[in-house]
Structure 1
Amino acid sequence: MQFAALVHTIVQHRPSGGKPNLDTAAFIRLLQDTMACTDTATEKRIIRFQHVSDYRRFIQQLPEVPSSSSPQKSIRQMPTIRGISCRLPAEETLECFSGRVWIEKDCKISVHASTQKSIAVEKGIPWGVSQIKAPLAWSTTTGHHIKVGVIDTGVDFNHPDLRQSLSRGINLLNRSMLPHDDNGHGTHIAGTIAAANQLKGMIGVAPRSLISPVKAFDHNGSAFVSDIILGIEWCVRNRMNVINMSFGMKTRSKALLGAVINAHNAGIIIVASSGNDGKRRSVDYPARYPQTISVGATTKLRRVAPFSNRGTYIDVYAPGDKIVSAWLQGKYHEMSGTSMATSHVSGAIALLLAMKPELTPTEIKNIIKRSIQPLRGNKARRTIGELDVMRMLQAVEKA
């Protein structure tokens, strides 16, 4: 059956006086036919069902399709946004489904950092951890028992500075394997948040917090939006307190926004990097969504780093220039990027939550914005500034 004819059969059943019901069986047949089609260029798409009843019927009927022709293995389910991801012909818009499903391209998304150089060894407290005054808080809070989901490239489970700080996490690219890092970025982020090797290595912002590595990014530091959504869903299901998102893209995704809103409504604080384009009035998604805490990067001189996006979309700045942290094979690397700034903020929130676990995402965002340290060379605006852990904890005490 031709694609257009299949679409016609899907929407032909129309209850009296209402919108057409989705003919789920025909919809599954359509997916079968298009996925079996090898002579057309395809691309990854996200399809969201407007009505939960349509989505439920689809999920119920999908396993009933004969296995030889089932598209099941090629379809990834995303329950919290009532969606699926799959490959469809590049020109297909599913226009005939308006009112029943939304479709968008499953875009690529990249981590926000650039590798600078390898460092022989890092001992003690990195400059960024000191600059945000985290060590002054450790007599009061070390982030004990706070769970931070790091959606990234995975983590080096054998790194001596991270061994005490990791839970199993999940590998979304290969569910049968641990989320081992084959890039380095995720290990670097995890080190800044929670490294805990006082005698021989480095110490992160919240050394007793627990990192759950969520591997959504491949060895190139690249992922699809659908992988990020599945990562967010995992974090919600496994009751993370904080999600670190050191990545971004230029295009807006309603599917990703839906997943972010769900996590926010579940009480999870989402910290996202703003991007490394040096733009004054723009930040990347998902940092641009109001449900996240958007982070820009500063230098040792407390100035906005030249590469960092800046402006009104930024909620807080944090150290992001020449940051040394853990790397693959037990090593250390120096990296720069708003990614690095984001991990400082996630660690600071872990310190705060260990003291006051009842705080909501909105309350935490307001506390951080209220307790910033003014930036140097920015006299005109006092509404933006750098993360300051001690001011943050004092703001909670006064509240």
Structure 2
Amino acid sequence: MEFRNLMKTPWLAAWMLILLVHPAIAADLRFSNFTNTVVIYTDESMPYWQTADGRRFQVAPRIIVRTHADNSPPLERAHPAINRIQPLFQLGQTHLYLLEIDARPDNLQTVLNALEARPEVAWAQPDLLQQRTPAHASHGVTGGRNTALPALRLNWPVLQQHNRGQGIRIAIIDDGIDLTHPALRQTKVAFAYDIGQRQLDASPQLAADTHGTRVAGVLFAATEGLDQPGLVPDAELIAIRQPDTWTSNTLLAFHLAQLAGADIINCSWHSHGLLQPVADAVSALAQYGRDGRGTAVVFAAGNQGQRITATSSEAAIDAAIVVGMNSPHSNFGPSVDLVLTAAPMRSTAVDGGFAPIGGTSLASSQVTAALALLLARDPRQDLTALLSALQQGASHD
């Protein structure tokens, strides 16, 4: 989904022209990701970059930098190829910037090296596009499970006894939400934005944009046409369409969710690798969001039946609330916080009809709703207390 129409992008067309002018050039790019050195390479036969184990990327003439403090002006002097610097994500002690550089194949590594040598720079990475998997996708099942965690059933009559999410803002970062659907028209929309189109509208734009509307239905749908209505119809929605995995766009999505006042951020998807800029942003939200009480960032574990390793996906982020499903399809590992038992259900679809949702997409959406209900009951709770209250109020299978 991410690689479509890329040649319509001016910077990529320019880059490919450079490669055509200089044929038979092989190149590699090295950068730090947590404590590891990542090496990606390309040559004239490949329209992409890849790692030795076959993970593929697109690379832009942009660099993401974290500084130890708010030190954007000195970065301009790091290298003459830097054309523009803009703040990308700012929260607490986390200061992330996007640097645009001259689009020459040798500039990226040179500028990365220059930035990493500066004392005010914590790390620097190229802006990357990698493959994303919606959490409802299921393949490659290995049959593992979270044996260390009990499978929980959420008690909705008790959770919904006093409220339906009043006063809570939930951000859904996904591939677009069809708010013209009859069952979603009553949704209280606090903010909507399309990261790709840079416009104040999070409507689906492509045929593949189906996932976000289903997630929204679990949370906000009216009863018409559904066996089960939305779980938190009185909460407010922050709808953010972010259909690709450019690191800079993902960071912008989190930044906008924070600025719009999100109490909870739902991410029912994962990429094929965890990058440090995303992990740092999620950690900052969990530490500094909601005036220091912590914004809950909920990630689906994924449905490949595989162990989550330290950098395998966003589901490895310690500061996130990672939700698995009581199923052999669910990904598993020490970063998973909750495992739910929940039957697949019908939810809203982009054609005005209804479609099934299940797996960890459903589980993470339901946990998002449960957290909203608990937070509406007592908005002063921090993340630790909130997660504890959810676990204590659920029954064990």
TM-score when normalising by structure 1: 0.68
Partner of residue 366 from structure 2, selected from 318, 335, 344: 344
1:186 paired with 2:212, answer yes
Contact 1:55 1:82 in 2 (8 A): no
Contact 2:154 2:395 in 1 (8 A): no
How many angstroms apart in 2 are the aligned matches of 1:193 and 1:34? 38
Output the amino acid matched with 1:43: V
Structure 2 CA distance for partners of 1:50 and 1:315, relative to 1, 3 Å: same
Name the counterpart of 1:353: 375
Contact 1:77 1:83 in 2 (8 A): yes
1:291 shift after superposition: 1.1
Name the counterpart of 2:162: 140
User: For residues 159-204 of structure 1, what are the alpha-carbon distances to aligned partners after superposition, in whole Å with 9 as ceiling and x for unaligned?
Assistant: 1211222414211111235110241100101111222x23554412
Name the counterpart of 1:198: 223
Partner of residue 98 from structure 2, selected from 60, 84, 102: 84
How many angstroms apart in 1 are the aligned matches of 2:356 and 2:14? 47
Aligned pairs, number: 310
How many angstroms apart in 2 are the aligned matches of 1:261 and 1:229? 12
Name the counterpart of 1:335: 357
Structure 2 CA distance for partners of 1:349 and 1:115, relative to 1, 3 Å: same
1:353 shift after superposition: 0.8
Contact 1:244 1:342 in 2 (8 A): yes
How many angstroms apart in 1 are the aligned matches of 2:232 and 2:12? 49
Name the counterpart of 1:236: 258
How many angstroms apart in 2 are the aligned matches of 1:58 and 1:276? 41
Contact 1:272 1:293 in 2 (8 A): yes
How many angstroms apart in 1 are the aligned matches of 2:276 and 2:130? 15
Contact 1:141 1:352 in 2 (8 A): no
Contact 1:113 1:336 in 2 (8 A): no
Name the counterpart of 1:279: 306
1:335 shift after superposition: 2.9
Pairing 1:44-123 to 2, within 5 Å after superposition: 44=60, 45-52=62-69, 54-57=71-74, 77-80=87-90, 81-84=95-98, 86=100, 92-93=108-109, 94-100=112-118, 101=121, 102-105=123-126, 106-114=128-136
How many angstroms apart in 2 are the aligned matches of 1:52 and 1:272? 28
Name the counterpart of 2:234: 208
User: For residues 133-173 of structure 1, what are the alpha-carbon distances to aligned partners after superposition, in whole Å with 9 as ceiling and x for unaligned?
Assistant: 32443331211121100010121011121122241421111
Output the amino acid matched with 1:198: T
How many angstroms apart in 2 are the aligned matches of 1:369 and 1:137? 12
Output the amino acid matched with 2:232: A
Contact 1:316 1:372 in 2 (8 A): no
How many angstroms apart in 2 are the aligned matches of 1:90 and 1:360? 46
Contact 2:169 2:235 in 1 (8 A): yes
Residue aligned with 1:338, SS: helix
1:109 shift after superposition: 4.8
Structure 2 CA distance for partners of 1:111 and 1:319, relative to 1, 3 Å: farther
How many angstroms apart in 1 are the aligned matches of 2:82 and 2:116? 25
How many angstroms apart in 2 are the aligned matches of 1:175 and 1:90? 27
How many angstroms apart in 2 are the aligned matches of 1:258 and 1:165? 31
1:280 shift after superposition: 4.1
1:277 shift after superposition: 1.6
How many angstroms apart in 1 are the aligned matches of 2:211 and 2:134? 9
Residue aligned with 1:257, SS: helix
Name the counterpart of 2:59: 43
Output the amino acid matched with 1:99: A
Instruction: Please identify which structure carries the higher strand content.
Output: 2
Output the amino acid matched with 2:97: G
Instruction: Please identify which structure carries the higher helix content.
Output: 1
Contact 2:245 2:271 in 1 (8 A): no
How many angstroms apart in 1 are the aligned matches of 2:245 and 2:308? 26
Output the amino acid matched with 1:207: P
User: For residues 182-241 of structure 1, what are the alpha-carbon distances to aligned partners after superposition, in whole Å with 9 as ceiling and x for unaligned?
Assistant: 41100101111222x235544122121122111111xxxx33222111111011111111
Name the counterpart of 2:319: 291
Structure 2 CA distance for partners of 1:313 and 1:79, relative to 1, 3 Å: closer
Name the % identity: 23
Pairing 1:294-313 to 2, within 5 Å after superposition: 294-297=322-325, 304-313=326-335
Contact 1:112 1:246 in 2 (8 A): yes
Residue aligned with 1:163, SS: coil
Contact 1:150 1:244 in 2 (8 A): yes
How many angstroms apart in 2 are the aligned matches of 1:85 and 1:321? 46
How many angstroms apart in 2 are the aligned matches of 1:358 and 1:151? 24
Name the counterpart of 1:165: 187
Name the counterpart of 1:12: none
Structure 2 CA distance for partners of 1:252 and 1:144, relative to 1, 3 Å: same
The CA RMSD measured in Å over matched residues stands at 3.3
1:250 shift after superposition: 3.6
More divergent stretch after superposition (250-259 vs 47-56): 47-56
How many angstroms apart in 2 are the aligned matches of 1:215 and 1:141? 28
Name the counterpart of 2:22: none
